[in-house]
Amino acid sequence: FYLRQGSNSQKLSTDEIRNFFNKEGKILFDEMINNEFSFENGYDNIKLSDYLNKAKISKSIPDEFILKNMGLINENRKFKNAGVLFFCDNIERFIPQAKITCVLFKGLDKQFILDKKDFQQDIYSNYLEVLKFLNANLKTVYRIEGFEARKEILEIPEKALKECLINAMTHRDYSEKGAFIQIDIFDDRVEISNPGGLIIKEEEFGIRSLSRNPLIFSLFNKLDLVEQVGSGIGRIKGEMKKAGLKEPKFQFGKFFAVILFRPTHEELGIIAGEKSSQKSSQKSSQKILELIRQNNKITIEELAGLLKITDRGIKKNLVKLKEEGLIRRIGPDKGGYWEIIVNKKEGGNNKKTI
């Protein structure tokens, strides 16, 4: 193959030819036949059964006919790559670049690694395992609303994380054999990146939907994990905004990346509902007064631990109690103590030290 430029003709390399056909949509990785994988080598029928249950598809005919109806095998019983990704016993044996790497870093850069895991099962199992890794390494706050039990809320909306992960798995370029999806967790952000840049114009990003792997896309769609209306980016932005967090950033190039910013200490307080109502604030203030009566040397950290709210929430309530003339601080932060001031209407002296 040659590329004509003016009066010159330049021979195309193998990678340039492949990239050209990929961009034109003539070669789709998920539609290609995988000659190494077969019913006898690598196929896991239990994973097909689990998939059908989740997709609410009846299993009333043999596996071979189901897979053929889903467009995952050809007339010669040869599997397409999409079928390998979903129903293999170990993805590294057949499509090693499909593994996902998760890394937890200390600080704001990649200097110190605290934890690292590679997930190399089938594509849906990898999705679930990555979510577990994210849940284990991101903060969880607790919100109490009314008389209901406390509600656990992940610091970054789980819906946004799921959307980013599904996007990475369905839109990545699987023909890049030396690259894989990576999830990096830093102190201030989570970065989810995948090989393969945009296949639409940048100005259409977030407006139009075009999948690099339509067969993989359709299999996730049967699990109700994706939509075909180009609304994924809007949902990610909407979930972050609803949580009161910074708008996510998107990076384009040979890799596509989404950056989700973790909440600050103050934003965690908002997520926990510390600004939910005046009544809730009053209850917290009353509890703080009672704990000070029991121990006038109690610290802010101890109050926060007992009441299950942030240090910021405790400080806010203490300032309010001071302004209302109910408490005062005697001595320094370390080594001092709290003094509760008794109202004259309650009788006795105008203040009382406990």
Q: Which helix (H) or strand (E) holds 154?
A: strand 151-154
Distance CA 153, CA 138 (A): 10
For residue 131, the Cα-to-chain-centroid distance in whole angstroms is 7
Q: In sequence order, which residues have a C-beta less than 8 Å from that of residue 324 and are 6 or more positions away? A: none
Q: Whole-model pTM above 0.85?
A: no
Average pLDDT along the chain, 354 residues, taken 10 residues at a time: 79 68 67 95 95 91 94 95 94 93 96 95 95 94 63 90 94 89 97 86 69 90 75 87 92 92 82 54 80 90 85 87 90 87 51 45
Query: How much is the pLDDT for 352?
Result: 46
Query: How far is 171 from 120, CA to CA, in rounded Å?
Result: 18
Task: Retrieve residue 123's tokens.
Answer: 């594509």
pLDDT in the model for residue 73: 95
| pLDDT for position 251 | 92
Predicted local distance difference test score (pLDDT) of residue 84: 97
DSSP percent split of the chain into helix, strand, coil, nearest 5: 40, 20, 40
- Residues facing residue 249 across a β-bridge: 259
